[in-house]
Amino acid sequence: MDVCSVKNALRLQQREARDSMDPLTRQKASAVACRHAIEAWEQLRINRNGDKLTLFSYLSFGSEISTAPLIEHCWSQGDRVLAPRVDTATRTMELRELDQHGDIVPGIWNIPEPAPTCKEWTPEMWAQIDWAVVPGLAFDRRGGRIGYGGGYYDRF
């Protein structure tokens, strides 16, 4: 088997495992993951002397871990929240800034994304991002990731 075949088989296996989870179990696991993320986020804030922070996060879809509690926490602290918007012509992601009232619209594959009216963050601004939360189907203990196969986050 070649690497692509192995990755595709792993993607299928992991998606089926996640999709078949009991919804209540998935919700509880998602809440635990967000609680850990919020604790780490607040530790980062302490390390940065209480400064406002900038989060780049995916907007969860389907059976993915919900990022909503983390995003809402950031908004409650006055932090900036960025989310990806897919440019189908270039097969790349743009980063757009959301506020608590920012429009979230269905994007490609019906995945939630910022409306085109949300402020775009150009690549020159990306160095201001304090933390990125990326989706994935599987992760190893070293942080290696298997995504959905589109390569959007890899290119980013």
Name the residue ranges covered by the structural domains of the chain. Answer: 3-155
State what percent of residues in the chain have pLDDT above 70: 99
Going by C-alpha positions, the residue among 145, 125, 142 that lies closest to residue 134 is 145
Judged against a pLDDT cut of 80, whether residue 66 lies above it is answered with: yes
At 120-141, the pLDDT tens digits run 999 999 999 999 999 988 888 8
Rounded distance, CA 135 to CA 139, Å?
Answer: 10
Q: What is the pLDDT of residue 70?
A: 96
As assigned by CATH, the class of the 3-155 domain is: alpha beta
Going by C-alpha positions, the residue among 143, 108, 139 that lies closest to residue 18 is 139
Mean pLDDT over 9-25 rounds to 87
Long-range pairs for 36-40 at CB < 8 Å and ≥24 separation? 37/70, 37/133, 38/69, 38/70, 38/73
pTM of the model: 0.87
Q: CA Rg, the chain, in Å?
A: 16
CA 8 to chain centre: 21
Rounded distance, CA 153 to CA 156, Å?
Answer: 5
